[in-house]
Every structure is written in structure tokens, then in C-alpha cells.
Amino acid sequence: MTGAMFIAECLKQEGVTKVFGQCGHTNYALIDACRLHGIEYVSFRHEQMAAHAADAYFRVSHKLAVLNVHLSPGMTNALTGVVSAAADCTPMLVICGNTPAYNHAREPHQGIRFHADASQGDIYRPICKRVWRVDDVNLLADVMPRALNLAQTGRPGAVLIDVPMDVFSAHINAEAVTVARRPSHGRAVGSSAGIAEAACLLLAAAKPVIFAGNGVLLSEASEELKELAELMQIPVATTLMGKGAFPEQHALALGTTGIWGTRVANETTKEADVILAIGTGFGEADCSSWNPAYTFAIPPSRVIQIDSDPQEIGKIYPVEVGIVGDARDTLRELIERLRGEKRLTADSGARMRELDRRKQAWNAELVASQSNDDRPIHPARLLAELSKAAPADAIYVTDVGWNKNGAGQQLKCSKPGTFITAGGMATMGFSPAAAIGAKIAAPDRKVICLVGDGGFLSVLGALTTAVELDVPVLWVLFNNFCFSTIRSVGSKYFKNTYGTEFTKPDGTPYNPDFMLLAKSFAIESALVAEPSELGAALEKAIKADVPYLLEVRTRADVPMPRTGYWDIADFLVGGNGPADDTPSQSHAADEIETPVA
């Protein structure tokens, strides 16, 4: 068989049914081989969009993300999408074409050879777990199983296989073997000694908190997380990436932590005496720039950290107990250790009353913005109406700004895989194509894309794939005629909005007519400018089982409710004024309203 057919056979053995990408002359042999193996090629107009779609497809289905792109410009176009996936631990196999191997020492058409011949793979080295260039078709017999193994085991991530187009067409006699060359029992359980010590700490804790990250979702450990929380009556906070790992309507749910977290979560984690951290690296946004006055005060809080990657344990905070192990299987062992035990200092009734008081106070704090009747529409009002209208199992795919951080703070998710966002890179333009990948993974669930006008227009071509494949995504467009989060930074700290607003030369707001734009794509659409019309418009859009664009005219001048802290305030607050005009750090931290998205 040809090299392309060999690769397709390996993908089929892995259970791959979808490959995302864009065609080119160097990768078409693999596109055809996938067709012959019954693997669908999901084509986008731009490789970045294909990568975002593949990323979200994995996050919903937990099936390997596979991206197949053309050489050079195809690879560079895909780069933003691949690094976004890698930053959020999505296992992704990227396969790209290259110039013919026999021409590498020359200067072939589209070849990248500025510092070394055919060196396009070097672009991906900082973001991939491993990069292979396969100049001999016979090497595929070893490279394919290694790549599939590496992407999906340990800390998941992206790998690249760079294949010259003549290698795709060359013949190989080897048998395709992939799964048999990978551990059949890949989940590692934490040490029994560590689990025993963790159990003792939790039993003796007066105010324990569980802090759950994306690792809980990757490990499919949500049921175990819920069982442990209920068994020990321990409240649960999550990272933004971990949102949905614990049902947020639950009495023990605190919501997300950090810069844009709920006040309930930040107040409760800050006072915890023991923190059980599961599958999280304590990222800056989730930890208020690690300022102990806002989210985590470690020490004196004592940390139990469970992670499959030993590099994560103790990386940010000192740990009392560090356990290397898979979240699901380690939690199962911890539950068995704790079953039948009772916390020595537990007063669950008093603590639950205090949590309930905090939740009521937080909800009251949000009422004014969520019921705001102003025009343009307050984004918090839009999120509140969306929360009422959307089905409980809806999948929200978010972009940046209010539609990401506001949604993370104010929408409640009850199931795993219901909140998809670009966490590590915070990539503007992530959601329009990612929503298509999520819907392909879950055709029976409503997928709602939340996106601003800036992000939407940067990847507009994604809509064509939804129409071509009849993927009924709902895009909810927050149209405020600007990059609103950065506009707030400009107006707050630099006293201008230069470069952040969308206007004509005379200063009047400008955007395309999104209703005509949707019509040109053959997509149904509606425009909402009145707050009183939001509920009905959302209900109609959610019921529509077709690609649908709902444009909502939103305010650009309202900052995100900030309950945490971001240290960029300390130097932004002075703008470009004289040094002696810059407020002190403590004053700057109090003054900041909206950090960069």
C-alpha cells in the first residue's frame, strides 16, 4: 500500500472517523486515502479554523483530534489553532505535506529552507510534544504508533508528522499496528501512601475545598469528583477550563475562581485550611496572579495536589501531599479510603449556611446588570436571558472578552463538556469554527457559540463549512462595534480608545450588515436591539435546527465584574504619563476594572 494508505489504515485502527483540514497538492494523497478508508475529511476555508474545530471535537467526544494540512502556508495558518489545542492539553495529531524528499537540498516551490533544508517542522517544535519528518516511507511503521501513543498518553498534547509528498505516494510493505504498541492499562493510580496521607488531611480539615481543573474532564472523573464532594461535604471550585466538571447548580458548587471568578469561589478558597487540587496547574488567571489577598492564600492553606504530570506538582505552590496519578482512578481510591469516615471538625450545617449566604449575596450583586434595560443591551442581560432559554445540556463554545469570562462567571453548567473555551491562549476567533467541531461531535445537543464582532470577523469563513455539511450551530454575536475589552483598557488607563473601535473616517460606528452577510451565506438570522425582545429571539434561535446567526447589539462601555486580581493593573494604571503620576501598586489593584482579554 502507499504511505498515505498506511497512515489512513493506522487512523482507522485508532477509531478515527473525522479528519479536519484544508486541501493542498502536498496532502491530497492522504485526503483520498482517508476517503477510501471511510474517514470523513472535514474541510475548512482556513487551516486555523480546521484546527479549532478538531480541538473542540475532541473536547466533546474525547476522540483524537486529527489535522491534515498542506505544507508551509498551510502549516503556518494552522499554527494558532494547534498551539491553542496544545495549551489546553488536547491530544492532536497534525499531519502535513512537504516538498518531495529528493528536492530538499534544492529550493523547491513553497519549501521553507531559510536555515535548514525542508525545515518547516521546526516552526512547531515549541508547541508539540514531538516533531517527526519522515523522509523514508518505511519509517512510518514506527513513527505512526509512536506519534499516536505520545499524543494521547501522559500529559496529552500535539504531535506533528511532516511527510514529503513523494513519501505519501511511495509503497510500504509493513503491517499497520498502532493500539497494540501502546499500554493497555494506561491509567496510573496514585501511591497508596500518598492517598492515605491525603485522607488524613481531609478528615482533620475544618474548611477544606476541592479545586478541580481540566484534568478532571480529560480523565472523565466528574462522577468521582461529585461522589467525593458529597461524601465529605466539601465545596468545589473549578478553573475556567474545568467548568462543568462539577454541576454548578449543586449546593456544594462555588463556581470558577480567579480574576473573573465568582465572589463565592474566591472568598471560600482564600479561607480554606486544606485544598485538594485535582488536574490543575494553578494558572495565573485562576489564581489572581497568585496574589494571596484574592483567591488562594498558600500557605497557610495546605495543599493536596493530584496530577498525572509530575512537573505540575509543586510548580506554583508548595504541597503538603503530592500525588502523581490519573484523576479518576486516584479519586476512586481516595473515596474508598474515606468511605465510612467522618471529618473530625466538621460542622457541615454551619458551613453550608455560610455558603448559601455568600451565594445569595453574589446573586444580588449581579441583579442590576442582569436585569438592565439599557440600549445597547448589557452583556450580562444577554447572558442571563440565554441561561433561561438554553437547554440544560447545551454546549457553550466561547471566544474572548465578555462572552468568555462573563459566561464563565455567570452561566451555570451542569455537565462535563458543556463549556468549551481557549483557556491557555485565550485565542480570539476560536469559537466560530470550534462550535462546528463540537456539534459534529454531539449532533443531538444544542451548540451555542458566543462571540464578539471582532473575533467573528477574523474567522468568518467558518460559516461555509456549517452550511456545506448542514451543521446547525447557533452563533450568538455580541456586536458592540469594537474590541470592547481592549477599548476599556485604553479608555481607563491611556485616556483614549485609539485602535480599538470600528468606525468610518467620519467616526460613525461601522461593521458589515450581519443580516445581509448571513443571507449571503444562506444562513438564517435575526437582529436584537431591544432587551425586552431577547427572550423570544433566543427561544426562536435555539429551536431552529439550522445554522443560525443571532446578532445582539451590546454595550461596549461596561467592564467585566472583577472579583479577583491581575497584576498588569500595577503598571497599566499609569498609562504613558510621567512616572511620578503612577499610583502605588495597592491603589492600582483597587482601581482596575477590566484587564486585557
- Sorted by where each begins, the domain ranges of the chain are 3-181, 192-356, 371-553
Which among 60, 65, 57, 51 is positioned nearest to 16, based on CA atoms?
Answer: 65
* Sheet strands side by side (includes 321-324): 253-256, 236-238, 208-212, 274-278, 302-307, 321-324
Which among 95, 75, 84, 80 is positioned nearest to 16, based on CA atoms?
Answer: 95
Taking CA atoms, 217 is separated from 220, 424, 440, in Å, by 5, 16, 19
Rounded (10°) CA dihedral 42, 76, 150, 313: -120
Q: How far apart are CA 576 and CA 586, in angstroms?
A: 19
Q: Are 209 and 228 in contact (CB under 8 A)?
A: no
Query: How does DSSP assign 524-564, residue by residue?
Result: EEEEE--GGGHHHHHHHHHH--S-EEEEEEB-SS------S
Q: Are 3-181 and 192-356 the same fold in CATH?
A: yes
pLDDT score, position 585: 46
Helix (H) or strand (E) holding 362: helix 348-370
CATH match for 371-553 among 2.60.40.1080, 3.40.50.10860, 3.40.50.970, 3.30.750.200 = 3.40.50.970
Residues 6+ apart with CB under 8 A from 560: 260, 401, 402, 405, 406, 409, 485, 593, 594
* C-alpha R_g of the chain: 25
Which CATH number is associated with domain 192-356?
Answer: 3.40.50.1220
Q: How far apart are CA 277 and CA 280, in angstroms?
A: 7
Q: How far apart are CA 553 and CA 208, in angstroms?
A: 43
Q: Which residue in this structure is represented by grid cell 489553532?
A: 81
Q: pTM, whole model, 2 decimals?
A: 0.95
Which CATH number is associated with domain 3-181?
Answer: 3.40.50.970
Q: What are phi and psi of 533, to 5 degrees?
A: -95, -5
Q: How far apart are CA 508 and CA 50, in angstroms?
A: 35
Q: pLDDT tens string for the chain (597 positions)?
A: 999 999 999 999 999 999 999 999 999 999 999 999 999 999 999 999 999 999 999 999 999 999 999 999 999 999 999 999 999 999 999 999 999 988 887 877 877 878 887 889 999 999 999 999 999 999 999 999 999 999 999 999 999 999 999 999 999 999 999 988 887 777 899 999 999 999 999 999 999 999 999 999 999 999 999 999 999 999 999 999 999 999 999 999 999 999 999 999 999 999 999 999 999 999 999 999 999 999 999 999 999 999 999 999 999 999 999 999 999 999 999 999 999 888 776 677 899 999 999 999 999 999 999 999 999 999 999 999 999 999 999 999 999 999 999 999 999 999 999 999 999 999 999 999 999 999 999 999 999 999 999 999 999 999 999 999 999 999 999 999 999 989 989 998 999 999 999 999 999 999 999 999 999 999 999 999 999 999 999 999 999 999 999 999 999 999 888 999 999 888 898 889 887 654 544 433 433 333 323
DSSP SS3 for 433: helix
Which ranges in 443-525 belong to alpha helices (H)? 453-458, 462-469, 484-489, 514-520
In this structure, the number of other CB atoms found within 10 A of the CB of residue 369 comes to 18
Q: Are 425 and 398 in contact (CB under 8 A)?
A: no
Q: How far apart are CA 546 and CA 419, in angstroms?
A: 21
Q: How far apart are CA 103 and CA 105, in angstroms?
A: 6
Q: Which residue in this structure is represented by grid cell 503612577?
A: 582
Q: Are 574 and 422 in contact (CB under 8 A)?
A: no
* Assigned C-alpha cell, 36: 477510501
Q: How far apart are CA 538 and CA 448, in angstroms?
A: 11
